[in-house]
Structure 1
Amino acid sequence: MTAFATLTFDRQIAAPPETVWQVWTAPAARAVWAAPTADTAVEVLETDPRRGGREISLCHAPGGETYRCEVTWLDLQPALRSSCAEVVSSEGQTLSTALVTAELAPAPAGTDLRVTVQLASVGQDMQAGYREGFEAGVTGLAQVAERSMVIQRRIRAPRHLVWGAWVNSERLPQWWGPDGFSCRTTRIDLRSGGEWVFDMIAPDGTVFPNHHRYSEISPQDRICYTLHWGENGPKHADAWASFEDTEDGTLVTLGMVFSTAGEYAEARGFGAVELGLQTLGKLARAAGAD
C-alpha cells in the first residue's frame, strides 16, 4: 500500500539568496549539512548538480541500517527555485519516492526559504522520518549558509583556459592570493585526494602557512577542498570552486563554509571578500583575460 503526504518546511536565513543557493546545490556545502541526524554518517558516491544530473549517497543510520538516496535534479533556476526527484531504498527495496521543491525569495534579513516535499511511501510509512530528517537538514542548511562566503567573477576567457590556469601545479602558485601576496610551495599534487602545502607571504613579509586537501577535482567543472591552518593543522573551511560557460567567457564561483561563525565573522572583518575578488582578478589575468 502506498501512503501520500505533503510536507512543508520554512526558514528565514540571514544570508543572501545567492549564498543560500550555493549551499543548497554545491556538493562541498551539501556534504556539511545534509545528514538527517547528528549521528548519521553520509557517504556521497556520485554528485552532479545540473539539470538531469544525479546525486547518490548512502546514509549510515544508528543501529547499522544503511539507506540509499538517489536524487535526480529536474529544474535549477539559480537563486530562485529547484526541484528534484528523490528515491530512498534499503537492501534493494524502494521505501519512498518524493518530489522536493525549494523556493528562495529575497527578504529584508536575507532569504525566505520554503522546501516542499511531496512524498509517496512505498515499503513503509516514511512520513515521520522525512519530517525529522528535513527539519534537521533545513536547520543545518540555514546554519551553514550563515557562515558561508560566496565570491563570483565573470572572466572573459574560455573555460578550458581558466581551468588550465587553476590546475597547473606551476601556474597556480604564481597567481594564487590577493594583490601583492606570493606563494612558497612545499609540495603540490593537484588531483582528487591530493594536497597543496604552501606559505602565503604578505607584502610586509608576514607568512601564513596553508594546507589545501582536495577531495574532488572534476575536470573543467569543480574543485572541492578543505583549508587548514598550516600542514595538518586545524580545518577552518570547506571550500569549492565551480566553472560555468557564459556567452562571453566563464563564470567562476568560489565558496567557503567556515568551520565556526566566529571564523566567518573574523574573515569578513579583515576583508576576505575583497581579497578573494583580488585573487579571482589574478586568475583572470593568468587565463589571458586581462
Structure 2
Amino acid sequence: MQIARLDDLAVHYRIDGDPDGAPVVFANSLGTDLRLWDQVIPLLPEGLKFIRYDKRGHGLTDCPPAPYAMGALVTDAERLMDHLGVTGAVFVGLSIGGLIAQGLAAKRLDLVRAMVLSNTGAKIGTRDIWAERIDAVNAGGTAAVVDATMQRWFAKPFHDTPDFHAWRTMFLRCPAEGWTGCGAAIAGSDFMTTTAALRLPTLGIAGSEDGSTPPDLVRETVDLVPGSEFHLIRGAGHLPCVEKPEEYAQVLGDFLSRHAGTA
C-alpha cells in the first residue's frame, strides 16, 4: 500500500511494471477504484511503468467534504505526478478520468505526452441530470442509483457473470460524499474549447453498449484533437477494460508502443 501526502489530501496509488520505464498514468471512473485496471495491466507491453491511483472520495484516498471542482481533481493528479517525479506520461482516463486527462493536458502539457480518452467526453451529461443523481445519492446513498448505473455500465450478457456482482458491490461501497463530490465535478465540466486547442497524440476508446458515454460522444470528443485515433469495442459497455480486457489491452498496448517513449 502506497500513500502520497499531497498537502491536505492523502492519495492511495500503486506502481506496477518496470520502475525505470516510461510512465503510464491511469485515472478511474466514478464509483470505482484503481482495481479497474487489474485485468489490463498484465497484458500491456513490458518495460513501462504503470501508475494508478484512487481519486479523492474513492478507494483508500481521503474523502473530503463534497462538492469537488474538476480543477481540484486535476490538481490532485498533477500533485501526485510531481510527487513521484513523473513527466511526459501517457495519461489513460476512463469516464471522469478522461475529463481529468483533458484538464491536465490543458494545464500541464509537460506531464502529458499523449492521452487515452476512454468512455468519456469533453462534456458528460447535463447539470440537471447530475443534480437529480446527486440528490438521490444524498438521500439514499449509492444504492439509490446502483441499478440504473449498472444498466448503463455493462452489456446485458455481463450481468449474468460472477464478476458483475463484484463491480456492483464496489460501486455500493463508494462513499456517498465521494460519489456526489465527483458527480458535481462532472456536472461543472465542459472542455470542448480547451480540448479543441490540444495538439498531442490522442486515442479514443468506446464501448458499443455504453449507456453513460455513447460511442458518438467519445468520437466527437477525440475528433476535437487533430490526428486523433478512435476504436470501438463491440459488445462492451462503459467499462470495456472489465468486459473485454484482451481487446482493450491490445488497442491500448499498440498506442503505448508508439507513443510512450522511453524513461
Scaled by the length of structure 2, the TM-score of the pair is 0.30
Higher relative contact order (CA 8 A, sep 6+): 2
More helix by share: 2
